[in-house]
């Protein structure tokens, strides 16, 4: 089976840095995805980690530790438009993604 | 944006009626998926397809059937809709089974 945990809600201040954690227990783990979903919209792909370490893409970075079953998404220089839900999803082999329940991030002034 | 179109975008139907949702892609991707999204549950896989006429069940497949007769179309059918199937339904596509998913804009279904 698969178990994916992420905090339900987080609040952070505009201009700050926020880290959204995701822990998973998955047999045959292959890789971990992060998606962003604004209210009322479809999820959009942010990042994909297969190997341990940090992947940086502009203001967003994603980290993976396979041995610890742990990932985080780091958002820097927060903007109001970053208010959204962030979804962690894992895959094993060629099977479809399994999603966590998502973390709703509110960015306040 | 990946070329994925879901129809209808909104639908209200009565309990016991059949409903078909359509997903159409122009990307020629092999894999297509149907997820439902509900508060407190996140995105859950209903069915997916890994080729024409090749489909498999997901986590919450009871009460749903699918068909894929062409690469570009993936249909989701609720044979007899129930109130528990009120949800937002997302179609997604990917090139490979472990490639990033690209989502359609969703269908909001209400069963009264």
**Tens digits of per-residue pLDDT, B9-56?**
999 999 999 999 999 999 999 999 999 999 989 999 999 999 999 999
Q: Does A46 touch chain B (CB under 8 A)?
A: no
Q: Which pLDDT score, from 0 to 100, does residue A1 have?
A: 57
- Bridge partners, residue B79, by sequence: none
Contacts of A102 in chain B (CB under 8 A): 42
* CA of A40 vs chain B CAs: smallest distance (Å): 9
Q: Which pLDDT score, from 0 to 100, does residue B88 have?
A: 98
* CA of B7 vs chain A CAs: smallest distance (Å): 14
Report the percentage of chain B scoring pLDDT > 70. Answer: 98
- Radius of gyration in angstroms for the set of CA atoms belonging to chain B, rounded to a whole number: 13
3-class DSSP assignment, residue B9: coil
Tell me the C-alpha distance between B35 and B95, whole Å: 17
Provide the residue-wise pLDDT of chain A in tens; the chain has 109 residues.
578 999 999 999 999 999 999 999 988 899 999 999 999 999 999 999 999 999 999 999 999 999 999 999 999 999 999 999 999 999 987 788 899 999 999 999 9
The DSSP code for A97 is: P
- The beta strands (E) that lie in A17-59 are given as 18-26, 29-37, 44-49, 53-57
Q: Which pLDDT score, from 0 to 100, does residue A27 have?
A: 86
């Amino acid at each position: 089976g698969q178990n994916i945990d992420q905090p339900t809600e987080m609040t952070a201040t505009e201009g700050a840095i926020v880290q959204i954690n995701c822990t998973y227990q998955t047999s045959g783990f292959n890789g971990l995805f992060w998606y962003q979903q604004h209210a009322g919209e479809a999820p959009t792909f942010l990042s994909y980690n297969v190997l341990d370490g940090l992947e940086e893409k502009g203001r967003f970075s994603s980290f993976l530790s396979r041995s610890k079953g742990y990932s985080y998404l780091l958002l820097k220089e927060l903007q109001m438009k970053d208010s959204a839900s962030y979804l962690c999803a894992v895959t094993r082999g060629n099977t479809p993604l399994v999603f966590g329940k998502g973390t709703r991030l509110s960015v306040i002034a | 944006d990946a070329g994925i179109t879901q129809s209808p975008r909104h639908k209200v139907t009565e309990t016991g009626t059949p409903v078909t949702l359509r997903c159409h892609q122009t990307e020629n991707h092999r894999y297509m998926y149907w997820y439902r999204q509900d508060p407190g549950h996140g995105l859950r896989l209903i069915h997916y397809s890994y080729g024409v006429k090749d489909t498999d069940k997901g986590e919450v497949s009871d009460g749903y059937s699918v068909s894929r007769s062409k690469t570009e179309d993936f249909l989701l059918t609720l044979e007899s809709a129930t109130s528990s199937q009120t949800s937002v339904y997302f179609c997604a596509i990917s090139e490979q089974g472990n490639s990033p998913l690209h989502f359609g804009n969703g269908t909001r279904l209400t069963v009264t």
